[in-house]
Structure 1
């Protein structure tokens, strides 16, 4: 059994049809329909990845900003100075705070869950999450590029099969007249 080529995350590679007559086993319409189904599958995967890309692009700045704040708290602790800041309580209400020798921070984990972490552990967690999100975003972008190439290949295949079919019908028409 021949293995199907795919990218590192298992998206199958579209075959390029060199000789249409060798590839078509049934009717041209069946072949074109299979190609259209394959293109639809690729488009579905592309839409899914675009949603994931959008999500990652919105999460990355939040993670970076939180990591910068934790780094600032660590730097203030090492310097032995207090950090004065204003923070948002609600949309129109702010309060002032003076932070001295912070030992722990609270991080939102999602789904209305917040946990308290020692400051060094929070920094490690955020740095890990940032690396994972950056890697995931690069993989999503790589997959999107791969999918675009596969859709183009399938569209070229469809055009080749269609043109071959037109040529065959034309030859049959000429042969039947002669």
Structure 2
């Protein structure tokens, strides 16, 4: 069985694995509470998995936007000091606008969300975006790792549940067979 306190790097606990069902429960009376406990644990892991999937989906939407913004800032960095030029940029999914980029442009405006836009020097903007991209990619990697870990824990608990249930069925059959045997002895 997993040690108490075992967890993945982000603190999600390891589900216990019941190797020997007979030593795990001492009587049939202990089976039902343990089955309920395993079902509750499965529900908690499924809840964590759902939240992790949602967070990963948000990151999958956000990462391309950060990359595109970083590429634009890198383009402006490369054109710094060159003559003025005209460009088309995206305002929304289907809305574009034209802009004149003057010679010597050394700052960009970044949309930070929550109706906040700030001006940054190009170098600082690149540094900020690179940091955000790295953090988002690392967070996505952690989400994917956590989803795999959670699926493993759910599977472990489902196996435990099945083994415990099968053990209960075996005990019921044995008790029934013993009762039938006693009835036969009493008749004879």
* Cα distance in 1 between the residues matched to 2:125 and 2:65: 14
Structure 2 counterpart of 1:44, from 47, 57, 63? 47
Q: Which runs of 5+ in 2 are unaligned?
A: 182-188
Q: Alpha carbons of 1:107 and 1:12: their partners in 2 closer, same or farther (altered >3 Å)? A: same
Are residues 1:60 and 2:74 paired?
Answer: no
Q: Deviations over 1:29-66 (max 9, x none)?
A: 11110000000000000011011001100000000000
Q: TM-score, normalised by structure 2?
A: 0.88
Structure 2 match to 1:16: 17
Describe the superposition over 1:112-165 as per-residue Cα deviations: whole angstroms up to 9, x where unpaired. 111111110000000000000000000000000000000000000000000000
Match of 1:128?
131
Q: Shift of the alpha carbon at 1:176?
A: 1.2
Q: Matches of 2:136 and 2:93 in 1, distance apart?
A: 29
Unmatched 5+ residue regions in structure 1? none
Question: Quick check: 81-90 or 12-21, which moved more?
Answer: 81-90
8 Å CA contact 1:67, 1:126 repeated in 2: yes
**Paired residue secondary structure (2:119):** strand
> Which of these two proteins has the greater Rg computed from alpha carbons?
2
Match of residue 28, structure 1, among 28, 31, 43: 31
- Superposed CA RMSD in Å reads 1.8
State how far apart, in whole Å, the 1-side matches of 2:109 and 2:141 are.
29
Q: Quick one: structure 1 residues 75 and 146, their matched pair in 2 at CA, closer, same or farther if it must change by over 3 Å? A: same
Contact 1:105–1:117, Cα closer than 8 Å, also in 2: yes
Count of aligned pairs between the two proteins: 176
